[in-house]
Chain A
Amino acid sequence: MSFLPDISLIAVLLASGVRLATPIGFAALGGVLAERSGVYNVGLEGMMLWGAFGAAAGTYLTGSPVAGLVAGVLLGAVAGLLLALLCVGLAVNQLVAGIAINLLCAGLTAFLARALFGLAGGGTAVSGFASLPVPYLSGLPLIGTALFNQDPLVYMLPVLVAVVTICLYRTQAGLRLRAAGESPRAADSAGVNVTAVRYVSLALSGAFAAAGGCHLVLCQVYIFSEGMSAGKGFIALAAIILGRWHPVGAVVAALFFGLCDALQLQLQFSNPLVPYQIFLILPFAASLVALVWFNKGARQPAATGMVFDREAR
């Protein structure tokens, strides 16, 4: 291997980085919505897995990946509502509720996958989305494949980021969501229904995280396997912080982690003698280092993590 990086190698790296970043990006976007409205969504990991299962099951049963995507996203929204019920409705500690969702989703998807696809959930491949090259642009050197020869979900992510950003900063709905996360008391006495805002944002949060899971199944591996989210939901939590609770920031951070992951895979292939687990650590190590490095001045929404009780002092 030459030490001068070869331009085509970089193009491949970028393309796979973008692809690997997409699930993290979806989950991080969902997490931003949840935390901006005042609730930690530690359950991103489980919701992603749940969405992946929904996508596989939906596609398997109907034969249509579109139906699979819809099924996955809807299941994610349901998981989001469950989290809302637990920590908004019943005032359960948000971290505990999120962890419970993760455990529940891990167990439930493993069980249902065996019931549906047979032993160990392995073996049953489903159809998925093919790449949709954009004419002309996909031929660009270096970034052509990375940005313009991808599957439809990759294209959807920046669109969603733009929509979420505009809604969050330019509409009354977004203002209410941000106010619910900064000061539920202020929002409440301005006539905002804080509970409703949080339910809606957690449902969206679950749907987005699940869309990330759908990407894993429908655009990456075409199969469901147990625990396939493999920590991406937790990396998304880091991406939220790194992105300063801003939709664009969070997705850019996700891209950084995706690139780390792509690099890690590349290193695995080119160094077959080194135990691959060493390289697997890379994205997690990168998230740790990045968090420590960029943590200065980051400020999370003031009321995130706290239960709002109107009559409490």
Chain B
Amino acid sequence: MSYLVLDRISKRFGGFSALSNISLSVERGTARAVLGENGAGKTTLMNVLFGLYRPTEGSIQIDGKAVSFRSPADAIINGVGMIHQHMHLAEALTVTENIVLGLGGLHSPLNLRRHSAKIAALSERYGLAVEPDQPVWKLPIGMRQRVEILKMLYRGAKILVLDEPTSVLAPNEIDSFLERVKALRDDGTTILFVTHKLDEVMRIADAVSVMRHGQLVAERDIGHTDVRQLSRLMVGRDVEPVRIPRLAAPGDPVLECVDLVARGERGLTALDRVSLTIRQGEILGVAGIDGNGQSELAEIICGLRKPESGSIRAGAAEITGLGVSARMRGSRIGFVPEDRHGTGLVLDHSIATNFVLRSFRRRPVSRLGLINARFIAEQARRMMKRYDVRSRSPAQPARELSGGNQQKIILAREIEAGPEILIVMQATKGLDVGAIEFVQRKILEARDRGVAVLYISTELEHVAEVADRIAVMHRGRFTGEVLPGQATAEHIGLLMSGLSVGEQR
């Protein structure tokens, strides 16, 4: 009998069935990849294994013994550890405090200094740089992910669940991290590696289970499969990247930023003399690891943040000193923010209301200060059709929609406002293949209408799919600019980690 057995697990949230009848057996000391698109139910399944969700049906056995986890504490006692996709960290506490939280008896003194030293040693050994005494809120996302990983490594576990652990690591960090995971497996740890990245599956796993729509659709030994087959199993069809050939050559410069300097938290330099130009009908892609100044750049261009120095021109107008609403109206900047839930939408308001967040002051959405509900409802229906927003009705709260549909609402609102400049951050993050394709198509169509697009993303492959030029950011600077199709992923990866090509040799 296998070491870990998940037996006919089902999980329903209200009426929605997130997992149906999933059975999985994993041998001791092997690495099992769990592959699936976003929304397939991977995290839900792992949360069941870690005691975060009680399964609606089904049971779990470890080492031949039936176990029932009422909480993560139960799972931890039974040797299960988990790295969470959406990090479970207390932001006001320091890195060390987060790592030692829950360890040892209640009365035991914390002895943070000793732990800090041990954590520093561990982070050195695993090549995961962190600052043990900093509060987590001050750290960039990538470093938080490393804290989440260290937290688990520090505890040790017999069964290790890794839920998309590499999503915010740099390419070179991913390599050494995967090596470490392999080493843990070779030491006898049983690994469940959740991902939607096919190459990681091939590199790390002994076997792979593929999930789609809450069901287990296939199981393969790594020796008996390949990337192409896995991709088809995961998506349910063959995928072709979108490519809309451009209609016209880029026109005159529309957005020009010169020597932008900005400070982030802790007064560190977030932008270090960044300059860029985007022409009419051109997409400038910005690639880079999260937290290297991309957010600050986007916020400064939209007017959400003030630069220390530098200037921004939109067309002929200097807009450096203008506020957000002036920029949105005057020079027509559209913004698809990184934080869909916090900045992009009012989650508890209806889809229809979310469509008019930009335009509610103006005719015909409102007249003499009164909202025109009928127009808003009609417009919502039109936009939902055009942008393929799937929901029961325009009155449904945005919170209830899937990530893809939420993103389409934001995109529709910003593009239909008719901007000359469109700033798009993490447009495709967390979306399924269908939604990614749709979002990219809409952005490319906007480009063809002459919009100048700044496309910022940490997902390099998606940047490469839509951008005309790719600028790579590291520590608040552009470390290089490449043309898609002419640079290897490796080359871009090096630029992302701040190494110029010369230093490589």
Give the distance to chain A from B341, nearest Cβ to Cβ, in Å.
10
Q: Which residues of A contact B109 (CB under 8 A)?
A: 170-172
Q: Which residues of B contact A311 (CB under 8 A)?
A: 13, 52-54
What 20 new A-B contacts, CB under 8 Å, besides A171-B107, A178-B93, A189-B88? A170-B110, A172-B102, A175-B93, A175-B97, A175-B110, A176-B102, A179-B97, A179-B98, A182-B93, A183-B88, A183-B89, A183-B90, A186-B101, A187-B102, A188-B52, A189-B72, A190-B102, A191-B72, A302-B90, A302-B92
Chain B, 62-102, contact with A by CB distance < 8 Å: what is the 0/1 string? Answer: 00000000011100110000101000111111000110111
**Residue of B52, B53, B84, B106 touching A173 (CB-CB under 8 A):** B106
Q: Which residues of A contact B151 (CB under 8 A)?
A: 190
Q: A301–B92 contact, CB under 8 A?
A: yes
Lowest 3 CB-CB distances: which A-B pairs, in order? A190-B102, A183-B90, A182-B90
Task: Name the interface size band of chain A.
Answer: 20 to 34
**A190 and B72 in contact, given A172-B107, A172-B110, A311-B52 (Cβ under 8 angstroms):** yes
CB-CB nearest in chain B for A178: B93
Q: Is A310 an interface residue (CB 8 A)?
A: yes
Q: A193–B73 contact, CB under 8 A?
A: yes
- Chain A binding surface SS class: helix
Chain A, 86-124, contact with B by CB distance < 8 Å: what is the 0/1 string? Answer: 000000000000000000000000000000000000000
Q: Is A265 an interface residue (CB 8 A)?
A: no
- Per the 8 Å Cβ criterion, residues 178-216 of A in contact with B are 178-179, 182-183, 185-193
Q: Is B455 an interface residue (CB 8 A)?
A: no
Give the distance to chain A from B155, nearest Cβ to Cβ, in Å.
9
Q: Is B342 an interface residue (CB 8 A)?
A: no
10 contacts between A and B (CB under 8 A): A178-B93, A182-B92, A182-B93, A186-B90, A187-B101, A190-B72, A190-B98, A190-B102, A191-B71, A311-B54
**Residue of B77, B92, B101, B105 touching A190 (CB-CB under 8 A):** B101
**A186 and B92 in contact, given A171-B106, A171-B108, A192-B73 (Cβ under 8 angstroms):** no
Q: Which residues of A contact B76 (CB under 8 A)?
A: 191
Q: A175–B101 contact, CB under 8 A?
A: yes
Q: Which of A170, A193, A302, A310 lies at the interface centre, i.e. has the most chain B CB atoms within 10 A of its CB?
A: A310
Q: Which of B84, B100, B101 lies at the interface centre, i.e. has the most chain A CB atoms within 10 A of its CB?
A: B101
Q: A179–B93 contact, CB under 8 A?
A: yes
Q: A183–B91 contact, CB under 8 A?
A: yes
- List the count of A-B residue pairs having beta carbons below 8 Å apart: 94
Complex: how many Å from CA A185 to CA B91? Answer: 11
Q: Which residues of B contact A193 (CB under 8 A)?
A: 71, 73
**A172 and B104 in contact, given A182-B90, A310-B52 (Cβ under 8 angstroms):** yes
Q: Which residues of B contact A169 (CB under 8 A)?
A: 110
Q: Residues on B close to A: CB < 8 A?
A: 13, 50, 52-54, 71-73, 76-77, 82, 84, 88-93, 97-98, 100-110, 151
Complex: how many Å from CA A171 to CA B89? Answer: 19
Q: B92–A176 contact, CB under 8 A?
A: no
CB-CB nearest in chain A for B105: A172
Give the distance to chain B from A186, nearest Cβ to Cβ, in Å.
4
Q: A192–B107 contact, CB under 8 A?
A: no
Q: Which residues of A contact B97 (CB under 8 A)?
A: 175, 178-179
**A188 and B91 in contact, given A171-B110, A172-B110, A179-B101 (Cβ under 8 angstroms):** no
Complex: how many Å from CA A192 to CA B101? Answer: 8
Chain A, 198-237, contact with B by CB distance < 8 Å: what is the 0/1 string? Answer: 0000000000000000000000000000000000000000
Give the distance to chain A from B42, nearest Cβ to Cβ, in Å.
15
Q: Which residues of A contact B102 (CB under 8 A)?
A: 172, 176, 187, 190-192
Complex: how many Å from CA A191 to CA B103? Answer: 8
